[in-house]
Each structure stands twice: as structure tokens, then as C-alpha cells.
Amino acid sequence: MRKYLLLVLLPVLLCSCNAISSLVHDDQVVARVGKNRLYKSEVERFIPNMIPAEDSTRLADQYINTWAMDLLYLDVAETQLSKTELDVTADLENFRRSLLKYRYEQRYINDRLDTVITEDQIRQYYLAHADDFELKRPVLKVRFVDVMKDSPNIDAILTMMSSTEYNDIQRADTLAKSTALRYFDSSDTWMDAGELSKSFGLDYETMLSYLKGDMIRYEPEDRTDLMAAHVVEIQRKGTAPLEFVSARIRDILMSARKHDLMNSLERDLLENALESKNFVIYENE
């Protein structure tokens, strides 16, 4: 009787299993590596909405190739590596410990770190470590413009951006932003000469060779535009201006505080463990 019932129910069970399998993977297979299948829905989740078709295709190909490469590497590794090499238990445990340690360190620091750094603290550090802030390249305060050579506004922009009058500078700003290819005003902020030279498409030494008076003017023969920078102030060597390195000093002071907190954490953990006998060092006889 049981065998009869089993024979009757077996086709039903098989159909049910197939139906369930169909429900789970009622999706188009786009790639296969061995027994592993990649479904269209998985690829689509990786691709952002509302992007051009060519970008969508490129991202899909990238995802499929990456997915396949990971599995191919895994397959060849499992085939070629020795039993000892395949045992990653110790590596996983070391990774787990490192990850948990890192996460706790971040929480400890975030809970205790004083993020307020005053201008006076920055200045004190700057004065005490002036030798660390020697300039490697000149620094400048400038107004920069890139404008077509045939623009009727060239002379007006260059004249007004070189002025010391606020109204002239404002007019230069308005005119340049509406007619020039590029324009920026860094007259209140120091720039590294290497950074400024990127706007000219030159190395900084070549760029500075075009400096005449207070204007860097460069007109490449093979281009239809000219680039110019009115130099409000320049410092070629010596200790960098405080405002130029203040962000760097802020990072140094913050890193020092984090380092002190980590030292404090490690010291407290060790002392508490020794005191509570949770950590015991046995002396060898």
C-alpha cells in the first residue's frame, strides 16, 4: 500500500519540485561557469537606471566577466592547490580578529576624539615646526582666465581682473564668466604653482617663465585661446604661509590625537587585564 501511494505521489512531488525551482529561478540565464549560473535579474540590479544603452551594455559585460573570472579563479585554485593551501581557517580567523579590532578602535576613537582644533593651536604648531613647511615650489594668489584670442572682451577682462578696485574685479568676474572659456578667482587663497600650471597645460617652471610684472600670459600658437593669470601675490621660497599649510597642520594635530587615544586604549587594556589576572605572563624557570 505504501509503495502504491509513493508511486502515485512521486510524479506530483516531482512536479511540485520543478514548479518551486521554476519559481525560484524563473529568470533568463545570461552566463554559466560550471554549475554556477548568472541570471539576468542579478546583472540588472548592478546597472543603474536611466543610463544610455551603450553604457548599460558595457556595465553588463563588465559585471559578467568579473563574475566569471572570480569563479574561474576559484575553480582552478581548488583544483591546483594542496589540501594545506586550501585550508583558510586560520586566515579567516585572523581577518575576523583584525576586522573586529578595527571596528572597536573606530568606535573608541569616535566616542572620545576631540575634533575642535583652534587657530591658536595651528599657529603654535606652525611656529614650533617651521622647518617642516619649507616650500618645494612657489605659491601664488591669482585670478585666472582662459579666453578666445578673437574675443572683443580680452583687454577689458585682463585690465579689470588686474585692478585693485572692488567694482572692477566684480565686472571682470561677470564678464569673464559670460564670455570666457574658464575663469576662477583665487586671489584670497594660496595656490601651489604646480596646481596652477595645470590650468595652463605647462609645467610650473615654464609657466613662471611667462610671468611679466604681475601677469602670466600664455598664447599657444597651435590653439585659438590665450590663458592669463594676474598674480596678486607670489612667494617663491622660504617657509610656506600659515594659511597655505593650515589644513595640513589640522590633519597632523588630528592624527596625533588619534594616535594618543590608541596608545591610551592599548595601555588601559593591558593594565586592566594584568590587574584582573585575565592576562598572565608565566616566567620560565
Q: How many helices (H) and strands (E) does the chain have?
A: 11, 7
Grid cell in block for residue 57? 551594455
Measured CA to CA, the distance from residue 157 to residue 163 in angstroms comes to: 10
For the ranges 5-19, 220-234, 264-278, the lowest mean pLDDT is seen at: 5-19
The 3-state DSSP class for residue 145 equals strand
What pLDDT is recorded for position 49?
85
- DSSP-assigned beta bridge partners for residue 218: 227
- Confidence label for 26 from pLDDT (cuts 50, 70 and 90): low
Segment holding 83, helix H or strand E: helix 83-86
| Per-domain boundaries in the chain | 29-84, 108-131+245-274, 135-235
- CATH fit for domain 135-235, picks 3.30.300, 3.10.50, 3.30.70, 3.90.1750: 3.10.50
Residue 36 backbone dihedrals phi, psi, to 5 degrees: -85, 135
pTM: 0.74
List, for residues 179-215, the tens digit of each pLDDT value. 999 999 999 999 999 999 999 999 999 999 999 999 9
Tell how far CA 13 is from the center of its chain: 54
Arithmetic mean of pLDDT over the chain: 90
The 3-state DSSP class for residue 61 equals helix
Q: Is the pLDDT of residue 27 over 90?
A: no
What mean pLDDT do residues 79-91 have? 95
List, for residues 41-60, the tens digit of each pLDDT value. 999 998 988 888 889 999 99
The residue among 69, 86, 68 whose CA lies nearest residue 77 is 86
List, for residues 108-141, the tens digit of each pLDDT value. 999 999 999 999 999 999 999 999 999 999 999 9
For the ranges 8-17, 159-168, 272-281, the lowest mean pLDDT is seen at: 8-17
Looking only at the bridges linking them, the beta strands covering 139-148 and 36-39 are unpaired
What pLDDT is recorded for position 285?
63
Measured CA to CA, the distance from residue 1 to residue 27 in angstroms comes to: 40
Tabulate helix, strand, coil % of the chain (nearest 5): 60, 15, 25
Q: Give the max Cα distance, the chain.
A: 108
